[in-house]
A and B are shown apart, each in its own frame.
Chain A
Amino acid sequence: KNQVEQSPQSLIILEGKNCTLQCNYTVSPFSNLRWYKQDTGRGPVSLTIMTFSENTKSNGRYTATLDADTKQSSLHITASQLSDSASYICVVYYAGNNRKLIWGLGTSLAVNP
């Protein structure tokens, strides 16, 4: 079954600290993997999009990695800020029949002062 699982479910860190969020998927075949940030009460905003041939991609303090062999991705946030408090969602594009994006449930991150 094509699934996207994220861990941890929630995370609390202090401002200025780094953190890493994990995404494991069983989607096959897949062609790209995305990370979205969703602030409370807002729509998701794209952070990174990686094709299956890419290993890493950065967007400011956000760095995503992808290991297509082990079907794992991570999102690393450096020097966290209060505004990083949000839900981070991993999304994998299923490239088989009935092509579609398969969404994870997200990791809820709280950055405290």
Chain B
Amino acid sequence: DTAVSQTPKYLVTQMGNDKSIKCEQNLGHDTMYWYKQDSKKFLKIMFSYNNKELIINETVPNRFSPKSPDKAHLNLHINSLELGDSAVYFCASSQAGIGRAGELFFGEGSRLTVL
């Protein structure tokens, strides 16, 4: 039974479109995250939610909007997609906050390709 699951795994779309990626965790964790991994394999945090409340919002374009309907779900909606948005997006969760050495559990990633 997958702990952190993301859908879709692959997404190919045209510039200007709007798309969503969904994430669900069944670990009972309080905190969820979205990370972006670019072509250089560098992982960068985008957002973090704790119990449905936004706690980290790194400098990302406001075309990216996270939504957490409950603490087990964190979705990412992207408006007006651009070529530079092509990347692998990872969802993750942790029980404790990462500052308290909380272990991060990652999903399998969603590879977004913008044409």
Question: Is the pair A43, B107 in contact by a Cβ cutoff of 8 Å?
Answer: yes
Q: Does A46 contact B (CB under 8 A)?
A: yes
**Contact digits for A70-90, partner B, Cβ 8 Å, 1 yes 0 no:** 000000000000000001010
| CB-based A-B contact count at 8 angstroms | 47
Q: Does A56 contact B (CB under 8 A)?
A: no
Question: Is the pair A32, B101 in contact by a Cβ cutoff of 8 Å?
Answer: yes
From B40, B45, B104, B107, give the contact of A100 (CB < 8 A): B45
With a cutoff of 8 Å between Cβ atoms, the chain B residues found around residue A42 in the complex are: 108-109
30 sampled A-B residue pairs with Cβ under 8 A: A31-B101, A32-B101, A41-B108, A41-B109, A42-B108, A42-B109, A43-B4, A43-B90, A43-B92, A43-B107, A44-B43, A44-B90, A44-B104, A44-B106, A45-B106, A46-B104, A46-B105, A49-B101, A49-B103, A87-B41, A93-B98, A93-B101, A99-B99, A100-B56, A100-B58, A100-B98, A101-B98, A103-B43, A103-B44, A105-B41
B residues with a Cβ closer than 8 A to A are 4, 40-45, 56, 58, 90, 92, 98-99, 101, 103-109
